[in-house]
């Protein structure tokens, strides 16, 4: 071995392959060869330098290098180790992790990137997932969900044929008023169910199946209200809110499980609840989007868009003045929502 | 809850520092976020390595050997299965139900693989750990026993807990050297009783002090629909109950059983482990850590984690029955990273209790 001016030897401890027997040892490295000797100078291992496996440095934990035969050398002499081996794999990462002002930039980058993922990244991922979901599967998901609803909480509708016909007429006019491309891409079906537990309600499944409860038809026979609410539900379908929500919640559950890892006792619950609160705000944004779609569609089909406002006003009165706090709700508060709806109606073209 | 380690045993040493760990943690986090979670597999390895490498017994440290690639593949498979499962659950509900049943049966198998994987990927003094638990044992402990615990209204919980801890430790090996674990059942019941007494005592004491009775709790629940202010009352009562009664009780139970477990674990050849954590200190660390972490928007999380690791190491002890030079790595099945990823996703720490 050739020794130069600089230090090529570092002291530490050596282990045989897979064994805990530990001896004081010194590691010598030249450009081509590496050699491990014990205190008596006996060679423990010798190998070409390029066959050594250097563990990436991490903090100030002991550095390790493994010989091809499994012999392990470790040392806490970091400067000495680097002096012998030169820069090894992981050195750059190690440098970036060093505690210092630069980490403030990393913290800011983290915050910015987390915000960008929550605001855009999850939606982009969800959009890719939605594009990859075959329409036949979405239709099947509708059938599956309906099956569950029918067996657990819905009974056959007890509406008269005349009552249904009235709602169906509104539904037909609305679908006819949909933009050409939307009508070509998306089918809609309207179903009636008697769901006493749900009160006056209507909802849409991702594939375009819409369900209206008997109580709704009885309580809100006004075609303008029916148009506003059906339009709102169609908005959920057209903008694929159901699928977005499914994929977003899957995505954020996975990200939290794998990113947050073990944050420790109590704190992990806080992280999970924070995620739920954030997803609620997303759900409120979807409601607003669907409102605007419904208002536009109802107006285009020749109905008074104020019908939706009347609906929320009545619902708001029934719930009483105190609605609780918005950030704890999946839907916007009726008061704010009404105001928003009225403002949006003013922006619609007045051609009726 | 003894405050000191037994005579003749020396504490584990943890040499990690908050500054150092902060740098590693924040760079891990940034790379994980920027890569939409992909790097998190490599971040996990780095995290484990940092804590293992900085834990010493007699100047010898632990190490973690899984690669980011292994963890990443396991996670991909788990995520793929999760998506398929979710879609099937909505698309074909009967099939989804059947799948849930399959998953329930697969659960013990997956956790067992995860325990094997974690043991195999961990080493002390250059010798790999191993885990020899069988699928039958895992099924019994994770499927059959819990049903018995439910049927007996949790009164047999200490039996299940003791059996599971025995399973985790008595099946573990360091190289070819086995761990012996004989935990007195009485000690588990004692911990359970003290925890239960705490809950009852605090509830009664609180009721007497603040005039909160179970009846008022019940009436608040009943009136919640009509009077929304009752909901707030109900929520604050629930929080009070959680922080004053249930959380401390959980720490009492954890601390007392941890001490029993370590104090009765012997590595073949006479190396003994010991533990002397106190419930009061663990609770204090957990609560103050939570407060500090929240007030600093999670920036002090690394500090909190190092603080906990330091406390645990300083209150975990060992006494040697001979030389540490005689362990040798044994061949064994590796388990798999899919089980490990599954355990991560479920939020279960399935490694050796440390």
Q: Which residues pair with B127 in a beta bridge?
A: B124
Q: Check: pTM over 0.90? Answer yes or no.
A: no
Contacts of B24 (CB under 8 A, 6+ apart): A58, A59, A97, B46, B47, B50
For B213-225, write each residue's pLDDT tens digit: 556 666 666 665 5
Pairwise CB contact (< 8 Å): A259 & B293: no
Specify whether the CB–CB gap between B145 and A36 falls below 8 A: no
Residue B7, token pair as written in the block: 């005579």
Mean pLDDT over the full length of chain A: 88
Pairwise CB contact (< 8 Å): B20 & A99: yes
Specify whether the CB–CB gap between B60 and B10 falls below 8 A: no
Specify whether the CB–CB gap between A54 and A87 falls below 8 A: no
Q: Band of the pLDDT at B93, cuts 50, 70, 90? A: confident
- Nearest to residue A206, comparing CAs of A247, A174, A177, A171? A247
Out of B29, B126, B326, the one facing A110 most closely (by C-beta) is: B29
Q: What pLDDT score was predicted for residue A280?
A: 85
Q: What is the mean pLDDT of residues A241-250?
A: 88
> Which B residues in the span 171-210 are in contact with A, Cβ-Cβ below 8 Å?
175
- Nearest to residue A204, comparing CAs of A156, A152, A157, A138? A138
Pairwise CB contact (< 8 Å): A59 & B54: yes
Q: Band of the pLDDT at B2, cuts 50, 70, 90? A: very low
Whether residue A1 has pLDDT greater than 60: no
Q: What values do phi and psi take at A13, rounded to 5?
A: -130, 150
Residue A254, token pair as written in the block: 């996975």
Handedness of CA B225, B229, B235, B238 (dihedral sign): negative
Out of A60, A125, A259, the one facing B33 most closely (by C-beta) is: A259
Specify whether the CB–CB gap between A144 and B92 falls below 8 A: yes
Specify whether the CB–CB gap between A158 and A193 falls below 8 A: no
> Which A residues in the span 210-269 are in contact with B, Cβ-Cβ below 8 Å?
246, 250, 254-255, 257-259, 261-268
Could you give the C-alpha distances from B161 to B138, B146, B156, B189, in angstroms and in order? 13, 10, 9, 10
Q: What pLDDT score was predicted for residue B23?
A: 96
Pairwise CB contact (< 8 Å): B83 & A114: no
User: What is the ipTM metric for this complex?
Assistant: 0.85
Q: How far is A200 from chain B (nearest CA, A)?
A: 18
Most B CBs within 10 A among A15, A54, A59, hence the mutation to make, goes to A59
Pairwise CB contact (< 8 Å): B290 & A97: no
Residue B216, token pair as written in the block: 């008022």
Out of A61, A254, A255, the one facing B54 most closely (by C-beta) is: A61
Pairing of strands A189-194, A209-213: parallel
Pairwise CB contact (< 8 Å): A20 & B126: yes
**Residue A240: how many CB atoms within 10 A of its CB?**
18
Specify whether the CB–CB gap between B285 and B307 falls below 8 A: yes
Query: Given the structure tokens 């493994």, which residue do they identify?
Result: A66
Whether residue A14 has pLDDT greater than 50: yes
Q: What is the mean pLDDT of residues A257-280?
A: 78
- Nearest to residue A290, comparing CAs of A351, A228, A335, A338? A228
| Residue numbers in B near A97 (CB within 8 A) | 20, 23-24, 27
> Which A residues in the span 91-130 are in contact with B, Cβ-Cβ below 8 Å?
93, 96-100, 103, 106-107, 109-110, 113-114, 117, 121, 125
**Residue A319: how many CB atoms within 10 A of its CB?**
12
> Which A residues in the span 165-204 are in contact with B, Cβ-Cβ below 8 Å?
none
Using the Cβ of B127 and the Cβ atoms of chain A, whether some distance falls under 8 Å is answered with yes
Interior angle at CA B118, CA B50 and CA B157, nearest 5:
110
Out of B34, B50, B294, the one facing A58 most closely (by C-beta) is: B50
Contacts 24+ apart (CB under 8 A), B343-348: B343/B110, B343/B111, B343/B114, B344/A257, B344/A258, B344/A261, B344/B44, B344/B75, B345/A254, B345/A257, B345/A258, B345/B75, B345/B78, B345/B82, B347/A257, B347/A268, B348/B111, B348/B114
Most A CBs within 10 A among B65, B71, B91, B294, hence the mutation to make, goes to B91
To the nearest 10 degrees (0 to 180), the angle between helices B68-91 and B93-120 is: 170
Which of the pair, B238 or B197, is modelled with greater confidence?
Answer: B197
CA distance B195 to B1: 13
Pairing of strands B60-64, B271-275: unpaired
Using the Cβ of B73 and the Cβ atoms of chain A, whether some distance falls under 8 Å is answered with no
Using the Cβ of A285 and the Cβ atoms of chain B, whether some distance falls under 8 Å is answered with no
Out of A61, A254, A258, the one facing B50 most closely (by C-beta) is: A61
CA distance B332 to B173: 11
DSSP conformation class of B59: T
Q: Band of the pLDDT at B333, cuts 50, 70, 90? A: low
What share of chain B has pLDDT > 70, as a percent? 89
| DSSP codes of every residue in A18-84 | TB--EEEEEEEE-SSEEEEEETT--EEEEEEGGG-EEPPP-TTSPEEEE-TTS-EEEES-HHHHHHH
Among A204-208, B208-212, B234-238, B239-243, top mean pLDDT goes to A204-208
Give residue A286's region: left, alpha or beta (phi > 0; psi -120 to 50).
alpha
Of the listed ranges A27-41, B84-98, B119-133, the one predicted with least confidence: B84-98
Q: What pLDDT score was predicted for residue B210?
A: 66
Whether residue A196 has pLDDT greater than 50: yes
């Amino acid at each position: 071995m050739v020794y130069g001016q600089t230090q090529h030897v570092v002291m530490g401890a050596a282990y045989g392959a897979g064994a805990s027997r530990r001896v004081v040892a010194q590691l010598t490295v030249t450009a081509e060869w590496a050699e491990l000797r014990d205190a008596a100078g006996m060679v423990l291992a010798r190998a070409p330098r390029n066959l050594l496996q250097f563990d990436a440095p991490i903090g100030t934990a002991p550095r390790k290098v493994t010989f091809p035969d499994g012999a392990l050398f470790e040392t806490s002499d970091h400067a000495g180790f680097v002096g012998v081996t030169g820069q090894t794999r992981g050195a750059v990462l190690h440098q970036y992790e060093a505690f210092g002002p630069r980490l403030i930039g990393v913290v800011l980058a983290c915050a910015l990137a987390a915000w960008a993922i929550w605001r855009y990244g999850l939606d982009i991922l969800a959009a890719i997932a939605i594009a990859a979901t075959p329409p036949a599967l979405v239709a099947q998901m509708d059938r599956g969900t309906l099956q569950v609803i029918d067996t657990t909480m819905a009974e056959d509708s007890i509406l008269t044929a005349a009552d249904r016909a009235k709602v169906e007429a509104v539904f037909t006019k609305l679908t006819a008023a949909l933009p050409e491309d939307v009508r070509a891409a998306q089918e809609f079906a309207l179903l009636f169910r008697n769901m006493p537990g749900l009160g006056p309600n209507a909802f849409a499944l991702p594939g375009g199946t819409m369900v209206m409860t008997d109580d709704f038809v009885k309580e809100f026979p006004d075609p303008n209200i029916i148009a506003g609410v059906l339009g709102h539900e169609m908005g959920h379908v057209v903008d694929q809110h159901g699928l977005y929500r499914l994929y977003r919640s899957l995505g954020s559950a996975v990200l939290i499980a794998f990113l947050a890892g073990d944050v420790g006792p109590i704190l992990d619950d806080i992280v999970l609840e924070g995620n739920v609160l954030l997803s609620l705000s997303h759900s409120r944004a979807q409601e607003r989007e669907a409102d605007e779609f419904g208002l536009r569609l109802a107006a285009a089909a020749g109905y008074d868009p104020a019908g939706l406002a009347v609906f929320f006003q009545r619902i708001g009165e029934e719930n009483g003045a105190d609605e609780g706090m918005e950030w704890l709700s999946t839907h916007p508060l009726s008061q704010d929502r009404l105001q928003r709806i009225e403002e949006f109606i003013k922006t619609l073209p007045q051609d009726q | 809850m003894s405050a000191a380690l037994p005579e003749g045993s020396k504490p584990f040493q943890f040499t990690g520092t908050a500054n150092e760990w902060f740098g590693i943690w924040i760079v891990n986090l940034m790379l994980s976020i920027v890569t939409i979670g992909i790097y998190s597999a490599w971040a996990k390895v780095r995290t484990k390595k940092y804590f293992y490498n900085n834990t010493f017994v007699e100047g010898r440290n632990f190490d973690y050997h899984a690669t980011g690639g292994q963890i990443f593949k396991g996670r991909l498979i788990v995520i793929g299965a999760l998506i398929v499962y979710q879609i099937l659950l909505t698309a074909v509900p009967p099939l989804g139900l059947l799948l849930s049943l399959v998953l329930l049966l697969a659960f013990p198998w997956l956790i067992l693989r995860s325990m094997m994987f974690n043991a195999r990927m961990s080493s002390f003094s250059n010798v790999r750990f191993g885990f020899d638990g069988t699928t039958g044992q895992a099924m019994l402990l994770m499927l059959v026993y819990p049903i018995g615990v439910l049927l007996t209204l949790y009164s047999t919980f200490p039996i299940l807990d003791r059996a599971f801890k025995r399973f985790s430790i008595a099946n573990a090996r360091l190289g070819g050297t086995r761990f012996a674990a004989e935990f007195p059942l009485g000690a588990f019941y004692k911990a359970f009783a003290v925890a239960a007494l705490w809950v009852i005592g605090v509830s009664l004491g609180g009721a007497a002090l603040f005039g909160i009775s179970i009846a008022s709790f019940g009436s608040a629940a009943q009136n919640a629909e009509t009077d929304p202010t009752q909901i707030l009352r109900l929520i604050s009562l629930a929080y009070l109950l959680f922080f004053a009664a249930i959380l401390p009780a959980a720490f009492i139970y954890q601390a007392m059983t941890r001490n029993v477990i370590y104090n009765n674990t012997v590595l073949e050849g006479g190396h003994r482990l010991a533990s002397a954590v106190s419930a009061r200190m663990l609770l204090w660390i957990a609560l103050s850590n939570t407060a500090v972490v929240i007030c600093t928007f999670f920036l002090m999380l690394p500090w909190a984690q190092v603080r906990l690791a330091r406390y645990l190491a300083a209150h975990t002890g060992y006494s040697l029955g001979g030389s540490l030079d005689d362990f040798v790595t044994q061949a064994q099945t590796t388990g798999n990273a899919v089980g490990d990823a599954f355990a991560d996703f479920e939020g279960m720490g399935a490694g050796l209790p440390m």
